[in-house]
Structures are given as structure tokens and as C-alpha cells.
Amino acid sequence: MTLKEEVYRLHANVCSGIADPKRILILYKLAEYPTNVSELAEALETPQPTVSRHLKILRDCGLVAATRDGKAMIYSLIDRRIIKALDLLRAVLAESLESKSELAKTATKAMNTDI
């Protein structure tokens, strides 16, 4: 495998890690402060086993780290730039939705004037 192919594979791996809305919520929550799975589950109103599965995926993708604090595992972001990337994606999506909304309004007006 070439270096270029490896970079694309890693890129796809990170994208698959953020391909679930719950995982995105977990990343945003961890951006506030490192925490354990129980606190995440409570904050996201999601069963703990579900949050644990999502955290494993995020760890496997290299987005989240876990450190032991007594009996608890504390989860944190490995690199806060992932939040900047998610914010950038949100901005792109917001603009896309806005343009689609304008298109829908224009189409509705056009259809109403043709009647």
C-alpha cells in the first residue's frame, strides 16, 4: 500500500467514526470536558452500553482516548481540531440547507403564479 493510499484509508476511517449522530454528540460533549461513560450516557440520555459501543468506535478511529481514574475510565478528545472540522461541516450543511430552502420558496412562488 502506498503512502497516499494509507492516508486515504485513514481519512475514510475517521469519516466512518463520525458517521453516526450519537458519536458526533459524544465528541461535542467531550469537547466540553473529559468524562466517564456513565456521565456521557446520562447527558445524552442514551443507554450506557450504547455509549460504550460508540466510544469503542471513536477510540478505534483515533478520535478519543481513555485513561483510568481509579475504577472509572475517563474519555477525552485526542485532538480538538476534530471539533473545528465538525463545525466546518455544519457550516457547509447550513449553507446547503439555506440554498435549498430558497430554491423551494422560489419553486413554490413559481407554481402559485402558474395557477
Q: How confident is the model at residue 114 (pLDDT cuts 50, 70, 90)?
A: low
Residue 47 grid coordinates:
443507554
Compute φ and ψ for 72, nearest 5 degrees.
Answer: -90, 150
pTM for the whole structure: 0.83
Q: Where are the domains of the chain?
A: 1-79, 80-115
Identify the residue with better confidence: 112 or 43. 43
- Chain mean pLDDT for the chain: 91
Q: What is the pLDDT of residues 44-84, one digit of tens each?
A: 999 999 999 999 999 999 999 999 999 999 999 999 999 99
The pLDDT assigned to 102 comes to 75
CATH code: domain 1-79 is 1.10.10.10
Burial 40-76 (b: 16+ CB within 10 A, else e): bbeebeeeeeebeebbebbeebebbbbeeeeeeebbe
Task: Pick 99 or 89 by higher pLDDT.
Answer: 89
